[in-house]
Amino acid sequence: MRTVLWKRIGLAGLRGFYRNRTVSLSSIFILTITLSIITSFYLFRAVFDYTLVQVKEKVDVRVYFKTDATEEQIMEVKAKLLGLTDVQTIEYVSRDQALLDFKKKHEGDQLTLQALDELGANPFGASLSVVAKDTSRYEAIAHQLDESSGLLGDNKTAIDKINYFQIKDSIDTLNNIIGWTNTVGFWLSIMFVLMSCMIVYNTIRLAIFVYRDEIAVMKLVGASNMFIRGPFVVESMLYSVVATVITLAVFYPATIWVTQKTVFFFEGMNIHAFYMAHIGTLSLALLIFGALLTTVSSLLAVRKYLKV
Amino acid sequence: MLYFDKVSKEYENGARVLDDISLTINKGELVSVVGHSGAGKTTLIKMLLAEESPSQGVVSFNSDNIHTLRGKDMTKYRRKIGVVFQDFRLIPNKTAYENVAFAMEAAGRHDDEIASDVPHVLDLVDLKSKMHHFPHQLSGGEQQRVAIARAIINRPEIIIADEPTGNLDPLNTYDIVQILKKINDLGTTVILTTHNKGIVDNLGRRVITMENGKVVRDQKSGRFTM
C-alpha cells in the first residue's frame, strides 16, 4: 500500500511539474539565482583565501648579515631559528645569490649595474628569510632575534639588520585584514543564506497560494495531508535538481571566462580549475541545500491551507 | 443518520447565521434546502463538511460528533460524503479522468479498481468520450457532471450538492437533477441546496425552507414557497 502511495505521489508531482510550467519555470529561475549567488560566494571565498595565502607567503622576517659574516655563523643562527616553534621555513640567500638576484632585478637598468661594477667587491651580505607559521607570530620571532633574548649569543655581531620592524606596520595591517575579512565573511555568508532562504520561501509560498482552493477541494474529497503535501514536495525537489544543473552549467563557461580575465590578477589562481576540482562537492551541496530549502518551504506553505 | 441538535453559528462580529437549528436527515432521503441568499443554507452545508464549527449545539453523523473528529477520522468521514459545488471546483491541471481518479487514489483504492470504475462512472454521466479533457476544455454542464462523477466514485453514503445548477442553462440543469435523482434512487442520501423553484417542485420530495438562519418550514413532500 505504501509503495502505491509513493508511486501516486511521485507521478502527481511529475505531472504537476510538467503541467504547471509557468510556476515551475519561475520557481526554477529564482532558485537558480539563489544557487548562483551561493556558488559565486563560494568561489569568491576560495579566490580570496588563495590570494591571502599568497600574500601571507610573501611576508617574512629577513635577517641581513654583515659582509664579513662567516657561513658558519649564519648556519648557527639558522639552526637556532629553526628550533623556534613559530618558524615554518627559513631560506638562506648567500652573498653571491644576493648579487645575482640584484643584477637580475635591474638587468635593464644600466646605470645601476655600472655603479655596482664600480664598487668592485660584492656589497651584499648574506640573509636569512624567515617565514612564520602564522602572520601573527612574526612579532614573537622578531623578539627572539632581539639582542636581549640571548638567542644569537656571540653571533649578534655578525648581523647587520633585521627588517621586521620596518615591515611591522604592513604585517599588522595584514593581520587586521585577515581578522576583519573572516568576521565579515562569516556574517556575509549567514546574511546571503538567510536572504536566499527568504526569497525561495516566498516564491514557493506564492506558487502554492495559487493552489489554495485546490488544496481545500482535495481535503474535502477525503485526501490525507500526506497525499496532498507529497506532490508539492516532489515538485519542489525537481525544482532544485533542475536549478542545480542549470547553475553548474552556467558556471562552467563563466569560470573559464573569469579565469582568462583574472589569472594574472589573482596571483596565478585558475578559478575554472578550482571549480572543476570541486564540482562534485559543490553540486551535492547545492542539491542538498536546494532540496532542503524548497521542501521545507513547500511543507510550511501547504500547511497553512490544510486547515480545512 | 445526520442530526442537527440546537445548532447555532455566530461570527465574531455578532452576525448570527444559524439560529437554533434542530433537524434529522434519514438514510436514503432526497432533501432540498431552500431559502434566500443569506438564509444560512451554505453555512448548514459547511457544518456538514466540517468546514465550519457550530458556536452552540452538535452536528452528528450516525453517533459521531462531526466537529470532534480529527486527522484520520476526519479524512474517513469526508470519504463517506460526496460534494458537488456550484462552481464545480475541479482541479484545473488534471483531466476529467484524473479528477475522478484522484478521489479514489485519496481513498487508497487499487489501480485496477480505478482503471475500471472511473470510465464506468464517466460513462454514467455521459462523459466517457471527453475523459481526457481538462476542465477548461469542457462546458459548465460537463464540468458539473465530472464533479458529480467525482462525488459518487467512492460510493459515499451522502451526496451534498450546494447550488449545483446555479451556473447552468435549463437543459444542463435538467440533466444534473436527473443524475442526482438516479443516485438517490440507488439508495444514496442526497442533500441539495437550490434557488430553483422548478427543480424543487418537480422533485416533489422533502423541502426544508430557511430564513434568517432558522428553519421556518420542513415539509415531507414540499414545494418551493418563500
Min Cα–Cα distance to chain A from B156, Å:
10
Residues of A whose CB is below 8 A from B108: 1, 4-5
- How confident is the prediction along chain A (308 residues), in pLDDT tens digits per residue? 678 888 889 998 998 899 888 889 988 998 998 899 889 888 888 887 787 777 777 777 888 888 888 888 888 888 888 888 888 889 999 888 988 988 888 888 888 888 888 887 888 889 988 888 887 788 778 777 766 555 666 666 778 888 876 666 777 777 788 788 878 888 887 887 788 888 888 888 888 888 888 888 888 888 888 889 999 999 999 999 999 999 999 999 999 998 888 776 665 678 899 999 999 999 999 999 999 999 999 999 888 888 76
B92–A contact, CB cutoff 8 A: yes
Element (H, E) at A258: helix A225-262
Q: Which residues contact A125 (CB under 8 A, 6 or more apart)?
A: A64, A65, A66, A67, A69, A95, A98, A160
Min Cα–Cα distance to chain A from B103, Å:
6
Cell 511521485 found at: A10
A131 beta partners: A89
Chain A residues 8-27 within an 8 A CB cutoff of chain B: 8, 15-16, 19-20
| Closest chain B residue to the Cα of A214, Cα to Cα | B91
Nearest-CB residue to B78 (from A15, A20, A222):
A222
Q: How far is A160 from A164, CA to CA, in rounded Å?
A: 13
Does B75 contact A217 at a Cβ distance shorter than 8 Å?
Answer: no
Pinpoint the alpha helices (H) of B35-169: 41-48, 71-79, 96-106, 111-124, 140-152
Amino acid A266: pLDDT: 63
Q: How many residues does chain B have?
A: 226
CA-based nearest residue to A234, from A286, A302, A178, A142: A302
Min Cα–Cα distance to chain A from B223, Å:
31
Does B91 contact A218 at a Cβ distance shorter than 8 Å?
Answer: yes
Q: How far is A67 from A124, CA to CA, in rounded Å?
A: 6
CA-based nearest residue to A41, from A292, A288, A251, A245: A251
B10 beta partners: B16
Q: What is the dihedral of CA A216, B96, B183, B189, to 10 degrees?
A: -10
CA B49 to chain centre: 9
- Sign, Cα dihedral of A288, A290, A293, A299: negative
Pinpoint the alpha helices (H) of B107-186: 111-124, 140-152, 170-185
How many other C-beta atoms can be found within 10 angstroms of the C-beta atom of residue B188? 21
Interface confidence (ipTM) of the complex: 0.73
B65 beta partners: B60
Size of interface A-B (CB pairs under 8 A): 49
- Sign, Cα dihedral of B72, B74, B79, B84: negative
Q: Contact, A223 vs B75, CB < 8 A?
A: yes
Min Cα–Cα distance to chain B from A1, Å:
8
Amino acid at B13: N
Nearest-CB residue to B108 (from A1, A218, A221):
A1
Min Cα–Cα distance to chain A from B221, Å:
30
Q: What would the grid cell of residue A138 be?
A: 612574526
Q: What would the grid cell of residue B89 be?
A: 471546483
The pTM for the full model equals: 0.69
Q: Contact, B79 vs A222, CB < 8 A?
A: yes
Chain B residues 97-126 within an 8 A CB cutoff of chain A: 102-103, 105-108, 110-111
Burial of A220 (0-12, 13-18, 19+ CB in 10 A): buried
SS3 (DSSP) at B192: strand
Chain A residues 217-236 within an 8 A CB cutoff of chain B: 217-224, 227
B89–A contact, CB cutoff 8 A: yes
Q: Sheet holding A159-162: strands in order across? A: A87-93, A127-132, A61-65, A159-162
Q: What would the grid cell of residue B2 be?
A: 445526520
Cell 480545512 found at: A308
Q: Contact, A43 vs A271, CB < 8 A?
A: yes
Residues of A whose CB is below 8 A from B48: none
Amino acid B165: pLDDT: 86
Amino acid A156: pLDDT: 66
Residues of A whose CB is below 8 A from B118: none
| Closest chain A residue to the Cα of B67, Cα to Cα | A308
Amino acid A193: pLDDT: 79
Could you state, in chain order, the average pLDDT of each consecutive group of 10 residues for chain B (226 residues)? 92 90 93 90 91 92 90 87 88 92 88 92 90 94 91 90 85 86 91 88 90 90 71
Q: How many residues does chain A have?
A: 308
